[in-house]
Structure formats: C-alpha cells, structure tokens
Amino acid sequence: MDAKGVLEYARKHEAKILDLRFTDLPGLWHHVSFPIHQLDESSFEEGFGMDGSSIRGWASIHESDMLLVPDPSTAFLDPFRDVTTLVMIGDVVDPITKQSYSRDPRFVARKAEAYLGFSGVADQAFIGAEAEFFIFDNVRFDQREQHGYYFIDAEEGRWNSGREEHNLGYRPRYKEGYFPVPPTDHYMDLRTDMAVKMEDCGLTVECHHHEVATGGQTEIDIKFDTLLRSADHMMLFKYVARNVANQYGKTVTFMPKPLFQDNGNGMHTHQSLWLKGKPLFAGDQYAGLSQTALWYIGGLLKHAPATVAFCAPTTNSYKRLVPGFEAPVNLAYSRRNRSAAVRIPMYSPNPKAKRLEFRPPDPSSNPYLAFAALLMAGIDGIENKIDPGEPLDKDIYDLSPEELKQVPSLPGSLDEALAALENDHEFLLKGDVFTEDVIRLWIDYKRKNEVNAVRMRPHPYEFQLYYDI
C-alpha cells in the first residue's frame, strides 16, 4: 500500500488508533499510539515526534528529539487490540537534518540492500529465517545479592511425567519431540491459531510443527522475502507468537537455551542472491551451486566469528553453540552435515530454490542487524573470491581428533564473538552500511550490560561445585 491506500484502508476498517512501531538496538519492538485522526498524507513525510533518549543504545538526552516516519507498505490491523488499531513500522529520522538516524537498525538493513545493488553483485537478496521458540505455562526468575534462580514449567514438559495430580502422560521425551501427533503434541491448536493470526497480519505461513525438545518447542515457518521485509516479518512473527500464547494463558520465549540437556532455539537463515530476476546461486559445482554461491559461502565462513556477535548475540546463545553436539559450530559447509555452519538444502532441483542455510543464528538476534551482517559477509566473499575450502560431508562425530583440529569453529562465548567483531569489521563498513559508531556502541553495550553483568554474578551450579571446597 501507498499513503493514500493506507488512509483508505483505515477508513474502510474504521480504525480508531494508529500504532507506530520501531526496533531498539538489541532488537525489541517499541510502540507509540495516536488517535487515527492524527494520520494524514503529510504524516508519511513529516512523521511523528518522539523521544529517543530512553531507547537502549540511542540518542543522548541533549539530542533526544526524533521523528518516526511510517512506512505505508508495512500496514496491518492488530488482531489483539479491543479497539480497531492500524499498525505501521516507522523509520527513525533526525528532525534537524531530515536524515535517517544511523543507529536505527532498520536503516542499517536498508543500507545493506542498497549496497548490494551498488556493488553490482546482485540486485536482490532473499532471506528466509526459521525461528524456533518454546511455549511454557509458567516461568519464575530472580537474581539478588544473596540468591539467584530460575524455574520453568510446562504441562508438556517431560519432567512432569511423575507428577501425582491429574496426569495423562503423553509428553515428548527429551530430544525426541520432532513431529509427534496430538495428544503428545499438546500445542497443535495453539500453533494453528498463531499461524492464522500471522496470515491475518500479512505473513505467509509455509508450515508449523513441534520441534525436537520437550516442553513445547515449536517452529512456524514463514515465506522468504527481501532482506528488509524478512526482518520486518520476524518482528511481527515474534509479536504474534507472544500475544497468541498470552491469550491462552501461556508464555513464549525466543531465548536460545532455556532448558538444560535438551535442544535450544535456532534461527536457521536461508539466503540467496538474484540479478535481473534470475537466481545466482544455482550452478554445476558442489551440491548444484554456482561459483558465486561458493564465494558467498567463503565470505560467510571467513567472517562468521565476527557476524555471530550479531547473529548469536547473547551470553545464553553460547549455551546452545557447544562443540560436540548437533549445534552448528564448525566453520565448514555441507549438503549433509547439520553440524556445519553452512548447509545446502537439497529438497528441490529447481534453480530458483537453490540457497544457502547459515545455521548458527538464533532468534535472540536483532534481525535487521543479523541479516545485514550476513549479506555483507557474503558480498565480501564474492568481491574477493574467497575460497570456502572443501566441504565437510563426513559425520562430525566420526572425525579423528587430528581431522577435527583442521576444522575451525565459532567463538565459544559472546565475549569472544565481540572480540572477533572488534578485529574484523571492515567488510561491514563498506557503503557505510554499518558505521564505526554503531559497531562500537554494540560492542560496548553488550560487554557492559550482558557479558560483564553475567560474569560478576555467582551461578547456582557453582554452589554445587564449590560450596564445600
């Protein structure tokens, strides 16, 4: 829709409220609401005033005034509000210069798409992200000077199999929750409701299913789109999943590793490049790939230690990315090995379906920054013809210690990933897509508020290890 189309859409559905949304640096949606009569055609150029000083990672107090300019192509009706509410995503603009705000994550994604076209490598990047999440019935957590704990519960959790009160069984075993039918799959109706609401909001759902872990792990796949649209869609995806669960009296988390000794939440990210309506990744080389695709893989693998600072951006991410398990920590590519960082899906021989799947990301990511970083790494691979090496088609568990040493791996912690980003980010600065300011801000924010904050707090398990030492 364009501006006139949005106004007509609002009149047709008798919308009473305009809700404008934007994303902070770590990746959470924020919003501000206005009576619908505040919206007219000029709003799509002049925007709405807001205070940016209270948003994480944004302006200081002396430069807090910002404009939020609605993007008419993102309009939808919020299915969860009592009063008919029109929602749009806004772009953040400096009210003095009228320039896009450099710390707005959506602007970074826009610049990545623009740089792709400027590079001549391609004119479209398509992203398809598969975000997994858990559906729990109850969660408690606290951290104080003299205690720290978390407690999770889910009716479907295997740990409830021995419960004395009303207990019907039918719970997925640990690591065996993939594709069971109801009643073992407790959440088919809930997921279907999520899928329907997503489609009502304009997303295209491809499928939904129970995932591997017990306790309600879920995956809903939505159709790929261009980089910016896919990032917009991921923000909407999370919003719908959380709100439908809330209506059912349940809670959703996209935290990468909430359960000990069971699978975590990934966000496998499929990528492909197109030029003038033709796919660039199909060819006659390994796994049906083109040389361009192999160079793109070379860029992904070379810069993976740096890009995971955006794609696996929490301390908890590295509870999922642990060597020796199914987690994709090995910096290699394969059409068979799911522990490799890059997998080449082989579902379809159609050249239009040829794509790469980067498996380390998780849904705690800010999708605007994560997708932009991956694209910039891939472009760098193509521009510099980076050789990805030989594929890793052997079972990782069958490799000898000597062979395993030859396979590089991802950083083992967020702190290591931030150090890698500190040392390797020139490829992100091309075309002013990422700026030194944004990268420095990201590193400093993550170290101060997450790495150091976790590092200085005693862990509950340390009491079992060390209390009587």
Per the annotation, the verdict on 359 as an active-site residue is yes
Per the annotation, the verdict on 390 as an active-site residue is no
- What DSSP line would sit under 4-48, residue for residue? HHHHHHHHHTT--EEEEEEE-SSS-EEEEEEEGGG--TTHHHH-E
Distance between CA atoms of 270 and 292, rounded to whole angstroms?
16
Per the annotation, the verdict on 219 as an active-site residue is yes
Q: Looking only at Cα atoms, what is the longest distance across the chain?
A: 71
Which run of H or E residues covers position 464? helix 460-466
Per the annotation, the verdict on 403 as an active-site residue is no
Per the annotation, the verdict on 45 as an active-site residue is no
Distance between CA atoms of 268 and 230, rounded to whole angstroms?
13
Per the annotation, the verdict on 46 as an active-site residue is no
> Of the residues 24, 156, 262, 357, which is catalytic?
357
Alpha carbon 117 to chain centroid, angstroms = 24
> Of the residues 21, 268, 303, 343, which is catalytic?
268
Cα-flanking dihedrals φ and ψ of residue 67, to 5°? -115, 140
Per the annotation, the verdict on 225 as an active-site residue is no
> Of the residues 24, 91, 104, 130, which is catalytic?
130
Burial letters for 332-344: b for 16+ Cβ neighbours within 10 Å, e otherwise? bbbbebebbbbbb
Per the annotation, the verdict on 132 as an active-site residue is yes
> Of the residues 91, 156, 185, 211, which is catalytic?
211
The DSSP letter of residue 100 is: B
Distance between CA atoms of 267 and 393, rounded to whole angstroms?
22
Q: What angle do CA 124, 129, 131 make, to 5 degrees?
A: 165
> Of the residues 91, 113, 156, 219, which is catalytic?
219
211 and 132 in contact (C-beta within 8 Å)?
Answer: yes
The pair of three-digit structure tokens given for residue 356, joined into one six-digit string: 């790469």
Per the annotation, the verdict on 436 as an active-site residue is no
Number of Cβ atoms within 10 Å of the Cβ of 398? 8
The DSSP letter of residue 353 is: G
> Of the residues 104, 113, 132, 262, which is catalytic?
132
* Residues with catalytic function: 51, 130, 132, 211, 219, 268, 338, 357, 359
